[in-house]
Amino acid sequence: MRTSSNPAFRNLPGGAAAQAPYQGFNGPQGGGPGYGAPQAPSGAADRPMTVDDVVMKTGASLGVTLLVGVVTAIWAQSQAAADNMGAITGAMIGGMLVGLVLALIISFKQMASGPMTLAYSAAEGVFLGAITGVFEMIYPGIALQAILGTAGVFVVMLVVYKTGAVKVTPKLTKWIIGALGGVLVLMLANLVLGLFGVNLGIRDGSPLAIIFSIVVIGIAAFSFLLDFDMADKMIREGVPAKWSWYVAFGLMVTLVWLYLEILRLLSYLQSD
C-alpha cells in the first residue's frame, strides 16, 4: 500500500497486513506495536468497509464542522461589532489547540473513533468559524467564495481520481510528500523569522505570497488523490467498517487545510 501525504493515512491496516495482520507494524525490536501503529480490530466479524460508509462518515464530520462553523462565525461577527476581539481570539486559539491535540491523538494512536472524529470536526468548526467571521466582516462574501472554492477543488480532484486522468504512482506520491515537506519548512521558517522582524514575503499579500498560496492550494488538491487512493485500497482489502471514521478524519484534515489556504488567497486578491 502506498504512503499518503496525509499523516492520518499512514500505517493503516491493509496490504501486507491483510495477509499477516498487523505484524508489519511492530516496533524496531519486533516485540510489540510500533509508534502510531494501529491495533488489531476488536471484532473479527466486523463487516468490511464500503464506499457508503466513507461517504456517510465524511458527510457527518463535514456537517458538524459546517454547523459549528456557521454558528461560531455569526457569534464572531457580533463580537467584532462590539469590539470584543479578545473573545474571538480566544475562541480561535482554543479551537485550534483542541483540534491539534485531537488530531495528534487520532493520528499517532491510529484511532478509528466516531466521537473523536466528530469532536475534532467540532473543534475545527470553532477555529474556522472564528477566522471566517472576522474575514467576512472585512471582505463581505468571502466565506461563501471560500466554501464554494473548497468544494469545487474537492469535486474536481475526485473526478480526476475516478476517471484515472492522473494516476497515483509511487513517483507522484514521493513528489507530493516532498512538496508538502518543503511548504511546511517554508511556513515554519517564515513564522520563526517573523519573530525577529524578517519577512520572507510569502504571507504578506504580495505577488509572491499570492503565488505561494496558489502552489499550496495545488499541493493540497493533489493530496486528495493520495487520500482517495488510500481509502479505495482500504475498501478493496476489506478493512473493517469502523475505519471509515478514520478515512473521514483524514479527508477532514485536508479539507480544513485547503479551506484555510483558499480563504487566505481570496483575502489577498480582495485587498486594496
Output the nine-digit C-alpha cell for 150.
473548497
Confidence at 83, pLDDT banded by 50, 70, 90: confident
Determine the Cα–Cα distance for residues 11 and 246; give it in Å rounded to an integer: 12
Mean pLDDT in residue range 100-107 = 94
Q: Are 48 and 242 in contact (CB under 8 A)?
A: no
Contacts of residue 128, defined as CB under 8 A and 6 or more positions apart, other chains included, come to: 65, 69, 72, 95, 256, 259, 260
Q: What angle separates helix 207-236 from helix 244-270, to the nearest 10 degrees?
A: 170
Under the banding of pLDDT at 50, 70 and 90, the label for residue 160 is very high
pLDDT digits (tens, 9 = 90+) for 123-152: 999 999 999 999 999 999 999 999 999 999
Calpha distance 94→127 (Å, rounded): 7
Query: Does residue 76 have a pLDDT over 80?
Result: yes
pLDDT over 80 at 45, yes or no = no
pLDDT of residue 197: 83
Does the pLDDT at position 159 exceed 80?
yes
Give the pLDDT of residue 215. Answer: 94
Asked whether residue 37 carries a pLDDT value surpassing 50, the answer given is no
81's grid cell: 461589532
Percent of the chain predicted with pLDDT > 70: 83
Please enumerate in sequence order all residues whose Cβ is within 8 A of that of 259, keeping only pairs 6 or more positions apart, or say none: 128, 146, 147, 150
Query: What pLDDT shows up at residue 30?
Result: 33
* pTM of the entire predicted model: 0.81
| The predicted structure's pLDDT at residue 182 | 92
- Tell me how far CA of residue 119 lies from CA of 83, 101, 245, in angstroms: 29, 11, 12
CA atoms within 13 A on the CB side of 77: 15
Q: Which residue has the cell 463487516?
A: 47
pLDDT tens digits, 214-266: 999 999 999 999 999 989 999 998 889 999 999 999 999 999 999 999 999 99
Contact 216, 183 (CB under 8 A): yes
In this prediction, residue 203 carries a pLDDT of 87
| Stretch 40-51: mean pLDDT | 66
- Rounded Cα distance, 47 and 121, in Å: 25
- Which of 104, 101, 108, 102 is CA-nearest to residue 11? 108
Which whole number is the average pLDDT over 203-211? 90
Local structure of residue 195 (DSSP, 8 states): T
pLDDT at 82: 86
| Reported confidence tier of residue 99, pLDDT bands at 50, 70, 90 | very high
Q: How high is the mean pLDDT of the chain?
A: 83
Q: Which of 24-38, 89-103, 122-136, 138-152 has the lowest mean pLDDT?
A: 24-38
At 6 the pLDDT is: 55
Is pLDDT of 3 > 90?
A: no
Beta-bridge partner residues of 26: 33
